Chain A
Amino acid sequence: MRVQFRVKRFNPEHDKQPYWGEYEVEVESTDRVLDGLHSIKWYIDDTLALRCSCAHGICGSDAMLINGRNRLACKVLIKDLKAPIVVESMRGFRVLKDLVVDMEPFFAKYRAVKPYLVNDEPPPLTERLQTPEDRARYDDTTKCILCGACTTSCPSYWANSEYIGPAAIVAAHRFLFDSRDRGAKERLQVLNERSGVWRCRTIFNCTDACPRGISVTKAIAQLKKALLFQTL
């Protein structure tokens, strides 16, 4: 079948303004939006820039705005969308070229929450023990692939890009609820700052946007609670 795409194009090297590129490509019923974009790039206009790698929703390269929602282009089938398929870069990040945005500020926020296990006690010769119940407490937030879909769907983040954003909070949650971690104090401090969790207005956009099905808003709420009642 043939399908129409409208893709927001912008190359700061020579464009003053973004513009819409209109394309029509031949696709199969099993094709993903990523395949459609590749058809454009490979057979119509190779200047189209996008990131991708795994093509099955696990590497987090290709989050973008598809028909008004943040999705991974490799995880949406064309046949499930209304045409024309409208594709733009994620909102709130600087556009480097077409669908490629500057992720560095996003990763800087991730790094700020100390996204690693903090525990200086000498480990045993074999594994540390952890019950399946303790393991389950942070399971949901281990799934994050750092695609940025949550943070760039968040109105609080659009309003103020100082906000640390849902993705970094998810990373903090993953460690704060891990029974092996000892870094709660430092991490909670970051989350308690003005740019921290309190900017979240519980709008749920992040949860809707997450391609991994993480209950992001719930994780944020758990951290707010932990801060208020010092329950960690």
Chain B
Amino acid sequence: MMYHRHDAIIVGAGGAGLRAALEASATAEVAVLSKLYPTRSHTGAAQGGIGAALGNMEEDRWEWHMFDTVKGSDYLADQDTVEILCREAIEAVYELEHMGLPFDRTPDGRLAQRRFGGHTRNFGEGPVQRSCYAADRTGHMILQTLYQQCIKNGVRFFDEFHVLDLLIEDGGCRGVVALELATGDLHIFHAKAVLLATGGFGRLFKITSNAHALTGDCVAIAFRRGVPLEDMEFYQFHPTGIYKMGILISEAARGEGGILRNRDGERFMQRYAPTLLDLAPRDMVSRAIHAEIREGRGIGGKDYVHLDLTHLGRDVVEKKLPEISDFIRTYLGIDPVKELVPVQPTAHYAMGGIPTDVDGRVIIDEQNTPLPGLYAAGECACVSVHGANRLGTNSLVDILVFGRRAGRHIWRFVREADLLPLPFEPEAPIRSEVSRILEGTGRESVADLRRMMQQEMMDKTSVFREKAGLQEVLDHLEELRERSRKIRVQDKGHSFNTALLEALELGYLLDLAEVTVASALARTESRGAHYREDYPKRDDVNWLKHTLAYRTPNGIEFRYKPVVITRFHPEERKY
């Protein structure tokens, strides 16, 4: 057992973790733990861009960005936090440029911007060019740039350390327990503050744009340790994943002029969103695709439609969308300049997660009571700026703006807080869980259980949901959990025992699947990404509120928290 002591621990080295680390390490002694090498984090997969009302191409204002974000969220986002997001986005982008990020430029050398779904001028009049980008590898550049700055600033990293437990006692967080992949050793990190920045959990679903590593570990661990989870029923399906593989084709493809077509070659978005067409928000486009498929207008009657880039010309496709073209050529063997691309909605982004305030402090109830010493930022957190549906380009803003705010609060906090004593035998629960798995003699396989869970979530908890289906998933999850107690792993070794880690990750996914489905079952309305066929209308009278799900000995219990409304009153969402 190894013991480490730091002012603060940051778990996760994606955009949110690295941005927080840069901020906090200016004055505090910080260590970043990540189960992947930092540059392997999924922020690097982000393609399309980062939204900020710079107004470099045409007039733009942060108030318009705020309106779009609120409307896109189906009015579930907290407007005080959205205001911070959209105001600070501008500074966040300039800051990245100052750090060296190679953005694409306008002819006069300023940051270029392009259109993206749901982003409009003058409160919904028409599309606006707001997304700053570096070709279609914006996330890659953000991740590299932040990591490079961390190197410059001497940030301390523990790479390939997998966090398995959070040490919370007497209502305060005191550190984490992590497993070192190379040796299999358990390490205790004792700290005054812990920031969770572990990203999303798209691996709940069969078809996803998310990395294998995105299994929601620390979201589930926090939940097990008594932290509620907010708005877990809202999970975004991105309209355009490569058929069967789920690999993302960024909205930038439609931002540059790409068009969705059904089996008749019809631009069907005309019927669903006459103003924004193919650039309507993702929940609407994904639903439209599913509706087309259900009515038999999928390609060849199957479960996909076409993304048409053929009219854009080679220059636009190769210069503006080089990565996407490469994916299409590599994985489908077709040339997007000449051929139509088969796409289907793919599980993409968790709007819900660990509830926080605007400084990243984790809150534990509807009065916004913070849990001292525990922070969260990025996709694993729910501030909530995305409400029921996130707009494209807003997650990269989120990780930077709230990563920085959390980092800043942490250094203020650790200056004043005391290092609280560790609980007795802090690693004991994890040690016994690890032994239970390694010594298990059952016959169940992690891969089978995971596959069944992913299929079930895809079939009944994705774009369309209804009561009976959700109830079936819950029952099935119960059974899978039962079976997961009898899993067997062959690898009994110490070094890089990824079979053991996958078994633990399955446990996290099953927990998160259950909260997601239970939250979806409880919410008897349709809003944003949560669409209930048995309750197809938004119901502001009863449901304009955030879900807080708690794990209790009697199962999951719900409380609800009002939405903060400052400027924009809920209206019907038309595009």
B102 near A135 (CB under 8 angstroms)? yes
Q: Which residue of A lies closest to B447 (CB)?
A: A42
A45 near B40 (CB under 8 angstroms)? no
* A131–B212 CA distance with the chains assembled, in angstroms: 38
B496 near A97 (CB under 8 angstroms)? yes
Q: Interface residue tally of chain A, by bracket?
A: 35 or more
A131 near B105 (CB under 8 angstroms)? yes
* 8 A Cβ contacts from B494-519 to A: 494-499, 502
The 7 closest A-B pairs by CB, nearest first: A117-B100, A42-B447, A129-B109, A46-B499, A116-B148, A47-B491, A49-B496
Q: Of A61, A100, A129, A143, which contacts B110 at CB under 8 A?
A: A129
Given A47-B490, A96-B182: A11 and B495 interface contact (C-beta under 8 Å):
yes
B39 near A146 (CB under 8 angstroms)? yes
Count of interface residues, chain B, beta-carbon cutoff 8 Å: 60
Given A54-B45, A181-B100: A13 and B499 interface contact (C-beta under 8 Å):
no
Chain B proximity of A131: nearest CB distance (Å): 5
Which of A120-128, A155-163, A199-207 is the contact stretch? A120-128
Given A42-B445, A46-B499, A96-B496: A75 and B36 interface contact (C-beta under 8 Å):
no
A53 near B40 (CB under 8 angstroms)? yes
Judge if A165 is at the interface, Cβ distance under 8 Å. no
Judge if A59 is at the interface, Cβ distance under 8 Å. yes
* A106–B423 CA distance with the chains assembled, in angstroms: 38
Chain B proximity of A9: nearest CB distance (Å): 12
Judge if A196 is at the interface, Cβ distance under 8 Å. no
Chain B proximity of A1: nearest CB distance (Å): 16
Which of B91-99, B408-416, B565-573 is the contact stretch? B91-99
The residues of B that contact A42 with a CB separation of less than 8 Å are 445-447
Q: Can you list 25 contacts pairing A with B, beta carbon distance less than 8 Å?
A: A42-B445, A45-B490, A49-B498, A53-B36, A53-B41, A53-B42, A56-B327, A56-B331, A58-B140, A59-B44, A59-B211, A116-B148, A126-B94, A126-B110, A127-B97, A127-B110, A129-B109, A129-B110, A142-B137, A142-B144, A145-B44, A145-B140, A178-B100, A181-B100, A213-B326
* A14–B245 CA distance with the chains assembled, in angstroms: 37
Judge if B232 is at the interface, Cβ distance under 8 Å. no
* A56–B248 CA distance with the chains assembled, in angstroms: 9
Given A13-B495, A43-B445, A178-B102: A129 and B42 interface contact (C-beta under 8 Å):
no
Judge if A186 is at the interface, Cβ distance under 8 Å. no
| 0/1 interface trace, chain B 105-118, chain A, CB 8 Å (1 if under) | 11111110000000
B496 near A61 (CB under 8 angstroms)? no
The residues of A that contact B335 with a CB separation of less than 8 Å are none
Please indicate which of the listed interface residues A58, A116, A128, A130 has the most CB atoms of chain B within 10 Å of its own CB: A58
Question: B-side interface residues toward A, CB under 8 Å?
Answer: 36-37, 39-42, 44-45, 54, 94, 97-100, 102-111, 134, 137, 140-141, 144, 148-149, 151-152, 182, 211-213, 244-245, 247, 323, 326-327, 330-331, 333, 445-447, 489-491, 493-499, 502
Judge if A25 is at the interface, Cβ distance under 8 Å. no
A135 near B493 (CB under 8 angstroms)? no
* A103–B489 CA distance with the chains assembled, in angstroms: 27
Judge if A115 is at the interface, Cβ distance under 8 Å. yes
* 8 A Cβ contacts from A95-124 to B: 96-98, 100, 103, 107, 111, 114-117, 119, 123
Chain A proximity of B488: nearest CB distance (Å): 9
A12 near B102 (CB under 8 angstroms)? no
B39 near A59 (CB under 8 angstroms)? yes
Q: Of B40, B54, B105, B498, which contacts A60 at CB under 8 A?
A: B40
* A145–B105 CA distance with the chains assembled, in angstroms: 22
* A52–B151 CA distance with the chains assembled, in angstroms: 23
Chain B proximity of A81: nearest CB distance (Å): 14
A30 near B244 (CB under 8 angstroms)? yes
A130 near B36 (CB under 8 angstroms)? no
* A149–B121 CA distance with the chains assembled, in angstroms: 45
* A7–B162 CA distance with the chains assembled, in angstroms: 26
A128 near B97 (CB under 8 angstroms)? yes
* A45–B45 CA distance with the chains assembled, in angstroms: 30
Q: Which residue of B lies closest to A114 (CB)?
A: B152
Question: A-side interface residues toward B, CB under 8 Å?
Answer: 11-14, 30, 32, 41-43, 45-47, 49-61, 75, 77, 96-98, 100, 103, 107, 111, 114-117, 119, 123, 125-132, 135, 138-139, 142-143, 145-146, 175, 178, 180-181, 213
Q: Which residue of B lies closest to A57 (CB)?
A: B330
B104 near A55 (CB under 8 angstroms)? no
The residues of B that contact A58 with a CB separation of less than 8 Å are 44-45, 137, 140, 323
The residues of A that contact B491 with a CB separation of less than 8 Å are 46-47
The residues of B that contact A53 with a CB separation of less than 8 Å are 36, 40-42, 211-213
Q: Which residue of B lies closest to A127 (CB)?
A: B97
Chain A proximity of B22: nearest CB distance (Å): 11
The residues of A that contact B213 with a CB separation of less than 8 Å are 53
* A55–B234 CA distance with the chains assembled, in angstroms: 25
Given A56-B327, A77-B331: A142 and B102 interface contact (C-beta under 8 Å):
yes
Q: Which residue of B lies closest to A32 (CB)?
A: B331
A55 near B140 (CB under 8 angstroms)? no
A130 near B244 (CB under 8 angstroms)? no
B247 near A56 (CB under 8 angstroms)? yes
* A156–B502 CA distance with the chains assembled, in angstroms: 38
* A86–B244 CA distance with the chains assembled, in angstroms: 26
Q: Of B54, B107, B495, which contacts A97 at CB under 8 A?
A: B495
The residues of B that contact A132 with a CB separation of less than 8 Å are 104-107, 109
Please indicate which of the listed interface residues B39, B327, B333 has the most CB atoms of chain A within 10 Å of its own CB: B39
Q: Which residue of A lies closest to B54 (CB)?
A: A126
Q: Of A55, A139, A143, which contacts B212 at CB under 8 A?
A: A55
Given A47-B493, A97-B495, A139-B102: A131 and B109 interface contact (C-beta under 8 Å):
yes
* A178–B323 CA distance with the chains assembled, in angstroms: 22
Given A58-B323, A145-B140: A130 and B105 interface contact (C-beta under 8 Å):
yes
Given A129-B109, A181-B100: A100 and B496 interface contact (C-beta under 8 Å):
yes
The residues of B that contact A139 with a CB separation of less than 8 Å are 102
The residues of A that contact B331 with a CB separation of less than 8 Å are 30, 32, 56, 77
* A14–B247 CA distance with the chains assembled, in angstroms: 38
A145 near B247 (CB under 8 angstroms)? no
The residues of B that contact A41 with a CB separation of less than 8 Å are 498-499
B111 near A127 (CB under 8 angstroms)? yes
Chain A proximity of B450: nearest CB distance (Å): 9
A59 near B42 (CB under 8 angstroms)? yes
The residues of A that contact B245 with a CB separation of less than 8 Å are 30, 56
* A47–B502 CA distance with the chains assembled, in angstroms: 12
The residues of A that contact B140 with a CB separation of less than 8 Å are 58, 143, 145
* A139–B446 CA distance with the chains assembled, in angstroms: 42
